[in-house]
Chains A and B, each alone.
Chain A
């Protein structure tokens, strides 16, 4: 279980998160809903250590996930796909994918792993030799997820995977999210598109101005008046 307790974080003097707590059980899909600026991306960045934490703890099976560079979180099994995707745009799709396995570079199964991911993301296969910048938005999102999965994380943090994509592509990506979770990787999903997020998630919470204002199962959230009026 990935546990966040009383997490405070922000940018410089500006506090964005004011005491956020949440749990992601192994294999589950948990969603964090909220408006623009609620602190959703800040939460994910603070969990992996891309942003320093001001206070609070993040633990993985009761062991602290250290603050610092994301390579620590990655070694512990927590990977982030950020909203901006942060692909290596001038490198080929194949290189982007392979580099996702950087921390496991000694392992013999890097090629097999990337084959397995290309079966999950078949639209990337025809584009392997192209630079990542030539991909469409949907393909870039898929490559970003595939790159993160190359490190074989146990927890995948997804920041707004539906942003700016056509509904058909969003369907495809969320189908893949379900598949990832069915194969044992837990997903912490940050979304503005609450309808589709609550469709795949088993539980979740609502973040408002850096605080959790509501939490519950997906069913409870879907029926909550607050979620209905503000997010659905």
Chain B
């Protein structure tokens, strides 16, 4: 039973990890806590529907179109909103990000209607039994895609000069400009990367949650995962996502599934009160 719960919980955890990564990436790089990020996740999934309905594309090409569109969306957010606000206060930037999320949410509500849309699973949702544990291929696909994206990001940040330059600019902007990094280009890259991440997360999570304009509430889960991980560490975001997924599943199974969401928000409050530096705060200090 416990093994079954843990296996199932990884699915939600993987998606939380992706969303948390987006939050942390934007925060580390630009200092902005992007409260509209959850709505960007929803919007990403709607982009697939829009591409299907508007251009009449089949599912997979529509996903590709949505990913390309989210590159443009990221560039637009930076060029149209965050670059003009670069000298404004952080609070103004955070409010702008919240307003931008609301614009996206209300756009899909007006354009696609307030009710839920069916969204296809990537693989079959019919469970199969592996060593007595029920495994859902659709969920495996979610975990697989998440792991793939995480691996790509790891390669980017650890193995390429451009990725290292992004990490460098997140660490010290003046230092980055002194070695010749154009910091505005790094910000653009961060907004594009996080927008693509949001769309990937949206496509993965939409069939689980049913796609409606208010699916963006999932953003708070990603936010909680990011806080769990310390909000400043990319590995922390991933661990925070998995931990949140597991805790939620345990609470949902052994306490009450109705209380599941309440428990994850309770975790958020508890972490802020007791361990504001997050789970990895300890580990980071031990390493030093």
Contacts and interface: CB of A to CB of B under 8 A. Distances in A.
The judgment on whether A and B are partners is: yes
Contact of A70 (B161, B172, B177): B177
A87 B172 contact: yes
Interface string A67-92: 00111001100011010101111110
Interface string B171-190: 11011111111100000000
A206 to B, nearest CB: 27
B178 A90 contact: no
Nearest to B181: A102
A87 B175 contact: yes
Q: How large is the interface on A (under 10, 10 to 19, 20 to 34, 35 or more residues)?
A: 20 to 34
A151 B175 contact: no
B233 to A, nearest CB: 9
Which one of B172, B182, B288 has the highest number of Cβ atoms from chain A below 10 Å of its Cβ?
Answer: B172
A100 B165 CA distance: 10
B26 to A, nearest CB: 17
A133 B175 CA distance: 14
B142 to A, nearest CB: 31
B174 A82 contact: yes
Nearest to A106: B161
A80 B177 CA distance: 11
A91 to B, nearest CB: 6
A134 interface: yes
B168 interface: yes
14 contacts: A50-B177, A71-B182, A74-B179, A74-B180, A84-B174, A86-B174, A88-B167, A88-B172, A88-B175, A91-B171, A99-B179, A100-B179, A102-B161, A102-B180
B164 interface: yes
A82 B179 CA distance: 12
A131 B178 contact: no
Interface of B, helix, strand, loop or mixed by DSSP: helix
Given A91-B168, A99-B168, A131-B288, A50 B180 contact: no
Interface in B234-250: none
Contacts of B168: 88, 91, 95, 99, 102
A89 B171 contact: yes
A75 B181 CA distance: 11
A80 B178 contact: yes
Contacts of A80: 178
Contacts of A74: 178-180
Given A98-B164, A105-B161, A131-B288, A90 B171 contact: yes
Contacts of B165: 99, 102
Contacts of B178: 48, 50, 70, 74, 79-80, 82, 86, 148
Interface of A, helix, strand, loop or mixed by DSSP: mixed
A40 interface: no
Contacts of B179: 74, 99-100, 102-103, 147, 150-151
A71 B164 contact: no
B172 A103 contact: no
A84 B177 CA distance: 14
A68 B288 CA distance: 37
B172 A86 contact: yes
B13 to A, nearest CB: 25
Contacts of A69: 177, 182
Contacts of A100: 179
A71 B174 contact: no
Interface string A113-127: 000000000000000
Contacts of B177: 50, 69-71
Contacts of B182: 69, 71
A185 B218 CA distance: 56
A102 B164 CA distance: 9
A99 B164 contact: yes
Nearest to B167: A91
